[in-house]
Each structure stands twice: as C-alpha cells, then as structure tokens.
Chain A
Amino acid sequence: MADELNIPTHRWYQKRNHIALAKEDFSRQYIYDSGIQKIDAWINSQPWGNPIPYLFANDEQGAWYDPSDLTTLFQDTAGTTPVTAAGQTVARMDDKSGNGNHATQPTAAARPTYQTDGTYRWLSFDGVDDTMGTSAFIQTGGGFYAAHGFNVLSEGGNAAAGDSFGSLRNVDRESVGWRSSGTYQYGSRLRVSGGVSYITSFTITGGTGSFGNNYVGDGWHDGLTLNARLSNGQSSSLAAEEIATGTPRVLTLVNDSNYMFFGGIFRDGPPPPSDTRDQVQQYLADKTGVTL
C-alpha cells in the first residue's frame, strides 16, 4: 500500500504512524467511510501494530488467547479438528504467546461455543458448567499482569466460582482481571487461603460494571500494589503483600458466568509499563468493540 504511512489512526502503538489531520481534511471522512475497523484490523496485522507479542519477547511465562483467530480454535483437545463455524464447541484454544499454555476442556458438556456476529468473534460460556483451563504454570511470585475483553451476560449459579478470565484455581484461589459475583463489582482479586504459610488475602473493588455490556478489564500486581481497571474508566488499587509462590497454578478461563470472551492475555512476573498496558487495552478494545 503506497499510502500506508499516511494512514492516521486513533492508536499510539507506533507514533511515527500517527499523523494528525486537520479537521476539515477530506481524507478523515474517507477513512471513516472506509471502515475504521478494517484499518484497525490492518494495523493489528502489522508487526508494529500489535503490542502483545512484545509482552513475551523475552520468554516471559504466560498465555495469549485470541478467539478471533480461527486457526487457534479446535473442536478436539488434540488440535486436529478446527473450529470453522459459529455454534461449534471449542475443546482447545491455542496459546499464541509461544509458551504452549493452550486452554483445553476435555469434557464435552463443559466446552464453550464459538460465536460471531460477523464483526467480532468470541467464545460463549453458558453460565452453567463451561470452562477451559491450562496445565499448571503460574507462579505469580514476581507479580502478574492480566487483561481481557469480555461481556458478562449474567452471573452463573455458583457465586464463588464466578470468576472470569484470570482465575487461578487449585486448592487456593487467586483471581485477576475481572470478577463477577453477586453485585458484579470486583475488579481484581488475589486470595490465597489454607495451608499456605505466607497467606495473602486482599481484594480490591474495581467499581461497578453492567451485565450485558462489553468491557476490557485488566489487573496487575507490581510488588507494591494490586491494581484493577475497567474500560468504563473505573479503577482502583490496593497496597499489596507478597504474592504466594510455590506450587504452580493453572489458568482458568471462566467458571460459570454466562460470559463472552473476546480474548485476553496473562503474563507471569512483573507487569509491563503503563504505556504498554494502555496499548494492550486498546488492542483488546478493538477486539471487543469497546471505545475507550
């Protein structure tokens, strides 16, 4: 494309590509008429346009799930039968971070379904028993960072299991990202209880979301504070204690909220800087149909 470098965007992934246009510039309208989503999609396809690969460029442990990429979705856990159409169940969603932390669900009845409205693509969890998980890999000793695009349509029945993306499950529970429970007001949460010598238990309130709305939520622990942020502008932080280390934990995608998952990442260790978090938030907002 000869005019690639002249494409202005609302993005800031790479400032050299952001060229401000005068308000009356006719090309501004041309771009909108052409479809900003197409431009976004093109930007995301460029090596400089997608911030997520940089999160794992130095072999950081974690996972990146992108249900808009059909090449990562399979109807079987072995990854041999691809998902090709809306309504098909998803037994496996490949991790695009390069860590091989693929999310799977071997039990047929507990698999989410792939859905699309023609523009956006997501996994639909039924709010009863659907869930996906990884093998244990998360240590969280040096902090963590999680972000995801989602829509909680309604809370599931098992309130204590109403965690969304980033729920780490073992004997103990740690939840990062967004948590839906009763009042749907928990933004990020870490909780370790029982049998751990360095028990850490703290919760932060991330404000109030609304069922049926799309959001991007992210949470991070930087060694000093536990933070949560929602794309409606609400955020909060709390002085944090040491995060439990030791037995690696699994990453669980949703438990029983009736939930749309548009994509997300989890990274173990220190969180990325704020500008990178903003870039990831924007990237996921584009995947989720959220305007920041």
Chain B
Amino acid sequence: MRLTIAVPQAHIDIANHYAMALGYSEADGLTYRNPSWQDAQGNLYAVASLPIGVNFVGAATSPLVRPEWDGEEVIDMTKASQAQALVTLWAAADETDAPQSKPDQITAILGLSGQEAISAMGLTPVPQDEELP
C-alpha cells in the first residue's frame, strides 16, 4: 500500500518533525524538501510518497510517542503534533472525491500510485527555470 503526502510550504518544518516521529532516524527530517508542486492558485507544496506497512496509518493517527532512536530529543514533539492535526487522510477505497490540497492542510492519499495521488490532489509540477535547448 502506498501513501502520498502533500505538505504546504509553510508547514514543511513541522511535517518533517512528524515524519521523524513516525520514522527511523534523523534522516527522516528530510522527508519534505523542495516545494516543487503547486495547486491552481500557485500555492507550493512538498510531496513524499512511500510504501507503508499495515500498522503505519494507525500509528500516524494515534497520539505520538517519541521513538526509541531519538534519545537526544531531536524531534520537537509539539511540532510533530501540530502537523498531525493538519492531516486529512483519504483512501482510494473511499466513496468520495479525493481532497484537494490546501495551504492549511496536509493531504494524504492512500492506495494510489504517487503520481496518481498527486494528480488527484490537484497538484502540478512547478515550472523550472532551467532552459532546455
């Protein structure tokens, strides 16, 4: 099962703390990087897509607990909880339309390929400055 998450640019920092809280190392603090996707209004988003196990969604929607690996308390659990509160989760099996990405919402889609999920969220790639001959 694949989960794809779009994070508004303004929330990338707290979303990375959330990712670390659910992850395995400090490297998961780089889950959301370049906001290279945009909605119809031009708002920017960073997107991550990953295969998940059966327990992931349950852990992601339950009260967060500092993982064992974070003995040095790298994770700001307050930020992680703030990000968790912004999540809107939609599954492909739901009989509703997929949620559109919004600047005040972290949008997560379960069960579609990464690119299908991005399209369902209403996101498109940000045009790059680099010219191609």
Seen from chain A, the residues whose Cβ lies within 8 Å of a Cβ on chain B are 87, 89, 106-111, 113, 126-130, 154, 156-161, 173, 181-182, 186, 203, 258
Contacts and interface: CB of A to CB of B under 8 A. Distances in A.
A161 B37 CA distance: 13
B48 to A, nearest CB: 4
A157 B28 contact: no
Contacts of A107: 27-28, 30-31
Contacts, number: 85
Contact of B128 (A113, A160, A203): A160
Interface string B23-60: 11101101101101100000000011111000000000
Interface residues of B, number: 33
Contacts of A111: 50
A21 B127 CA distance: 56
Nearest to A191: B130
A251 B33 CA distance: 19
Contacts of A108: 23-25, 27-28, 31, 50
B93 interface: no
Contact of A110 (B2, B31, B125): B31
Top 8 nearest A-B pairs by Cβ distance?
A: A160-B128, A106-B27, A157-B125, A128-B114, A128-B49, A109-B50, A109-B48, A126-B114
B12 interface: no
Given A109-B50, A154-B115, 19 more contacts: A89-B51, A109-B28, A109-B48, A111-B50, A127-B114, A127-B115, A128-B47, A128-B48, A128-B49, A129-B48, A129-B49, A156-B115, A157-B123, A157-B124, A159-B125, A159-B127, A160-B129, A161-B128, A258-B113
Nearest to A130: B49
A126 B49 contact: yes
Contact of A109 (B31, B34, B129): B31
B4 A128 contact: yes
Contacts of B114: 126-129, 258
Nearest to A201: B133
A159 B132 CA distance: 10
Interface string B48-79: 11110000000000000000000000000000
A155 to B, nearest CB: 9
B23 to A, nearest CB: 5
Given A108-B24, A157-B124, A128 B118 contact: yes
Q: Which of B24, B124, B129 has the most A CB atoms < 10 Å from its CB?
A: B24
5 contacts: A126-B49, A126-B115, A128-B4, A128-B118, A129-B114
